[in-house]
Chain A
Amino acid sequence: MELGGTVLTLIAVLTLIMWALIFERLFFLRARYPSMVRKALAIWEGRDERESWHARRVREELVSVVGQALDQNLALLKTCVALCPLMGLLGTVTGMISVFEVMAISGSGNPRSMAAGVSMATVPTMAGMVAALSGLAMSAWLDNKAYSERELLAEHMTMDH
């Protein structure tokens, strides 16, 4: 960790937030989402008619409420994933600054004195990439899942013809 400097700590915090969001979504899908779907379906099935303009609006509302719950925090998660490589880039640049600072003071003769800055430049880049890759798969899957679950719910709420 100490090779990467402050930026690496920031990346670690960001990754932590990202994975907290991912686990929150997974928990929601496993624990709270099924009961929400059941409740919405019960309301829909409990209606005496499912054909009129009113019925269609109510159906839209039910799907929207569930969909909003499904979409919650997904945008934030996606932003976290996008920010990880940016943070890595930030680390690269701050590392390069420290390299040039060392060069300005001690000249370019001693590569060992520059090594700290170089590792500060490269380690966060790698960490940012790894964090983004780990989060990218999960965020894409959750995104997909939210979309398909919403469609599925809409399909389950059959209309009378």
Chain B
Amino acid sequence: MKNFNKVLIAAAAALVIALPAGVSAQDAVSLDQLLQQVRQGRAADNQVNQQRIAEFRANRARQAQLLEEAKQLRTQGERRSAQMEAQFDVNDKEIIELDRQLQERLGSLKELFGVLQQTAGDARGQFEGSLTQLQYPDRSDFLTEFAQKMGQGNRLASLEEIERLWFELQREMTESGKTVKFPATVVSATGDEEQREVTRVGLFNVVSNGNYLQHVTETGRLIELGRQPASRYTSKIPDVESASSGYQPFALDPLRGQLVGLLTETPNLRERIDQGGWIGYIIIGLGILALLVAIWRFVALTGVGARVHSQMKNPENPGNNPLGRVLAVYNENKAVDVETLELKMGEAILKETPKLNSMLTFLKIIAAVAPLLGLLGTVTGMINTFQAITLFGTGDPKLMAGGISQALVTTVLGLCVAIPTLFLHTLVSSRSKSVTQILQEQAAGILARRAEGK
């Protein structure tokens, strides 16, 4: 690159030097000759100048003429412009006048168009959320177009269009009072789309095959609710579907599907128990265990009590029951003195009481432990809640609801187990206490009376 630049510079320099050298080399051989040449050249230049001046003078007249022509052209243009401006003003005034006339003549019609636009817009909004949209989906295009047309203000509504708006409003009114059947595409709970016969009850609910359907306004689809409300609501649906006339009871949702949605969201018993988590299951397990134990002890102690009472009436023949076994001690030890007999009886009673009192402590422990477990569940639930608060803040109460339900459900379960267990424990323990009292306080008396009677 550098070399190339050098070559270029050298070539340019050679050219500059060569040109005048060439001229002088050609024409001027000596200084005298050069002088001669210069003199001649000056004379030639003078001549050319004279010639140009003459030429210029000759042209001056022509130039003036050209200027004159241009000036004329300008005045002509100016005049034309003024003329046009005047015309424009006239036209403008005319336009304003005509516009005024148009407004004047539109007058009440303009108001009418405003009303038509508003009504069409409102009706479209309302119809799109309405259940009749399933049957007449093409009306919203017409209404949108019509509202737009009326909004522009420079086009007139045709009589047919106004009549159609009237017709659509009237049809919605009439349909809202009807229960009709029509085929529609339903998205089932499993996600399949299928063509089905559905029944529309007014504008309130759509049902099919004994199930409530949900109308999604945004997509205009019918979705079968995966979870239906309680059977006391759904049981009336088949009657309505099969009926062709007359009155039928029906669980109507006046909020057009909102209440049905809320009903399906409330958890059932099983889901509530699931909310309690593993602590909830432990509590329920303990409760069932306590119930079984209580029933077993209650039946056993009732039987024992009945046998003891019949034994009391018949002390001569000691049978196979706690009192009988205590009385049998006397029969075996008739010869011994009173104090030894008392000791032996005490021993026999001591042998009987643990059997009568067995499992009572267990019931009492469950009654005490169940609310404590509930408290444990409450605390773990609260831990979950606070974790949710740490992660997401307190803005959304729905996020905290899970932990709080666990907290409360376990408490409820604890109480639900503790209350019946406490009750059963009292029943069972009063039975056992009465038998024990008979053994401890009355057995000796029965023996004493027998001994005296002899």
Residues on A facing B (Cβ under 8 Å): 53-55, 57-65, 67-68, 75-76, 78-79, 82-83, 86-87, 89-90, 93-94, 96-97, 100-101, 103-105, 107-108
Q: Which residue of A lies closest to B450 (CB)?
A: A54
- B412 and A94 contacting across the interface, CB-CB below 8 Å: yes
* CB of B361 to closest CB in A, whole Å: 16
- 1/0 per position for B439-454, CB-CB distance to A under 8 A? 0011011111101100
Q: Which residues of B are found within 8 Å of A90, using beta-carbon distances?
A: 412, 415-416, 419
- A86 and B265 contacting across the interface, CB-CB below 8 Å: no
Q: Which residue of A lies closest to B442 (CB)?
A: A61
User: Which residues of chain B (375-425) have a CB below 8 Å from chain A?
Assistant: 397-398, 401, 404-405, 408-409, 411-412, 415-416, 418-419, 422-423
A-B contact count (CB 8 A): 96
- A79 and B426 contacting across the interface, CB-CB below 8 Å: yes
- B404 and A89 contacting across the interface, CB-CB below 8 Å: no
Residues on B facing A (Cβ under 8 Å): 262, 265-267, 272, 338, 342, 397-398, 401, 404-405, 408-409, 411-412, 415-416, 418-419, 422-423, 426-427, 429-430, 433-434, 437-438, 441-442, 444-449, 451-452
In the assembled complex, the Cα of A67 lies from the Cα of B437 at a distance in Å of 10
- A105 and B408 contacting across the interface, CB-CB below 8 Å: no
Q: Which residues of A are found within 8 Å of B447, using beta-carbon distances?
A: 57
In the assembled complex, the Cα of A107 lies from the Cα of B408 at a distance in Å of 18
- B430 and A87 contacting across the interface, CB-CB below 8 Å: no
Q: Interface majority SS on A: helix, strand, loop or mixed?
A: helix
Can you list 23 A-B contacts with CB-CB less than 8 angstroms, sorted by A residue number? A53-B338, A53-B342, A54-B451, A54-B452, A61-B445, A63-B441, A64-B437, A64-B441, A64-B442, A65-B442, A67-B437, A75-B429, A79-B422, A79-B423, A79-B426, A83-B422, A89-B415, A90-B412, A100-B408, A103-B401, A105-B262, A107-B397, A108-B397
> Which of A86, A100, A105 has a CB less than 8 Å from the CB of B415?
A86
In the assembled complex, the Cα of A65 lies from the Cα of B448 at a distance in Å of 15
A86/B419 contact (C-beta < 8 A), A61-B446, A101-B266 known: yes
In the assembled complex, the Cα of A60 lies from the Cα of B411 at a distance in Å of 47
- A76 and B427 contacting across the interface, CB-CB below 8 Å: yes
Q: Which residues of A are found within 8 Å of B426, using beta-carbon distances?
A: 75-76, 78-79
In the assembled complex, the Cα of A140 lies from the Cα of B422 at a distance in Å of 19
In the assembled complex, the Cα of A63 lies from the Cα of B262 at a distance in Å of 65
* CB of B420 to closest CB in A, whole Å: 9
In the assembled complex, the Cα of A64 lies from the Cα of B408 at a distance in Å of 47
Q: Which residues of B are found within 8 Å of A105, using beta-carbon distances?
A: 262, 265
In the assembled complex, the Cα of A63 lies from the Cα of B441 at a distance in Å of 9
In the assembled complex, the Cα of A94 lies from the Cα of B269 at a distance in Å of 13
In the assembled complex, the Cα of A103 lies from the Cα of B404 at a distance in Å of 11
A100/B444 contact (C-beta < 8 A), A76-B427, A93-B412 known: no
Q: Which residue of A lies closest to B449 (CB)?
A: A58
Q: Which residues of B are found within 8 Å of A100, using beta-carbon distances?
A: 401, 404-405, 408
* CB of B304 to closest CB in A, whole Å: 16
Q: Which residue of B lies closest to A47 (CB)?
A: B452
Q: Which residues of A are found within 8 Å of B412, using beta-carbon distances?
A: 90, 93-94, 97
In the assembled complex, the Cα of A107 lies from the Cα of B397 at a distance in Å of 6
Q: Which residue of A lies closest to B411 (CB)?
A: A93
> Which of B397, B434, B452 has a CB less than 8 Å from the CB of A104?
B397
In the assembled complex, the Cα of A82 lies from the Cα of B418 at a distance in Å of 12
Q: Which residues of A are found within 8 Å of B266, using beta-carbon distances?
A: 101
Q: Which residue of B lies closest to A63 (CB)?
A: B441
Q: Which residue of B lies closest to A10 (CB)?
A: B419
- A57 and B415 contacting across the interface, CB-CB below 8 Å: no
* CB of A71 to closest CB in B, whole Å: 8
Q: Which 10 A-B pairs have the closest CB atoms?
A: A61-B445, A64-B441, A54-B448, A57-B448, A104-B401, A79-B426, A57-B444, A90-B415, A61-B442, A57-B445
